Amino acid sequence: MSDFRSDRMPSPEGRGLAKSRRQRAWEAYQVTAGRVAGPAVEPVAKWIAGRLTEDLVGFWLVWQLEGRFEGMQRLGMSRSALYRRIAMFRKVFGQHPDEFQFPGVTIDLDVYLSAVATPIGDRATHPAGRPVPLFTDREQADTPRSPVLQD
């Protein structure tokens, strides 16, 4: 049996012959695939990018208006969905939605909270600091319940 420890290679890759062959094959594939599939894929990719951007802009707006992470959870988003959405937002816009500001967009939370007739979520823990009751005690007693939700 031979001992190869004394005949060391320049790197764990050896001389890199397989890696360089793979790299050349991959580059040739990319050029060919780009020429063939590019015209067919580009309109679909633009459409998907547009929908993703719309979704992330809406996510950012609701994030700002409804109390960030906790507010989004109150609206029914799971922690894992929020983390995925935050990660996607950071990939696309380069910042966390809490830090990002769209140029030309300002948000006045006081105006929003006072103008919304039916709040989306519970306001008790909203960052604006003032809870807005959903109903008075009298209104809650008079509100009919859904037959699905009744005990």
Is residue 62 within 8 A of residue 75, CB to CB? The reply is yes
* pLDDT < 50 regions, the chain: 129-136, 139-141, 143-151
Domain membership flag for residue 36: yes
151 falls within a domain: no
Write down the pLDDT at residue 1. Answer: 57
Q: Can you tell me whether residue 38 is helix, strand or coil? A: helix
How many domains are there within the chain?
1
Alpha helices in 1-151 (DSSP H): 17-65, 68-74, 79-93, 109-115, 137-142
Residue whose token pair is 């290679």: 9
In this prediction, residue 4 carries a pLDDT of: 65
Rg for the chain, CA atoms, rounded = 27
Q: Is residue 149 part of a domain?
A: no
Q: Is residue 2 part of a domain?
A: no
66: Cβ–Cβ under 8 A, 6 or more apart, which residues?
A: 72, 74, 75, 120, 121, 126
The pLDDT value recorded for residue 96 is 92
Q: Write down the pLDDT at residue 9.
A: 66
Q: In sequence order, what are the residues at sequence separation of 6 or more whose Cβ sits closer than 8 angstroms to the Cβ of residue 69? A: 82
* pTM for this predicted structure: 0.54
The single-letter code of the amino acid at 106 is T
**Residue 103, in any domain of the structure:** yes
Q: What is the reported pLDDT for 149?
A: 42
Question: What is the structure's pLDDT at 49?
Answer: 85
Count of residues in the chain:
151
| Residue 41 domain flag | yes
Instruction: Answer yes or no: is 53 within a domain.
Output: yes
Q: Which of 125, 106, 94 is nearest to 64 (CA)?
A: 106
Number of neighbours of residue 71 by Cβ within 10 angstroms: 21
Range of the structural domain that residue 131 is part of: 17-140
**84 part of a folded domain:** yes
For residues 138, 139, 144, 150, the Cα torsion angle rounded to the nearest 10 degrees is -70
Q: What pLDDT does 147 receive?
A: 44
What confidence score (pLDDT) does residue 82 get? 92
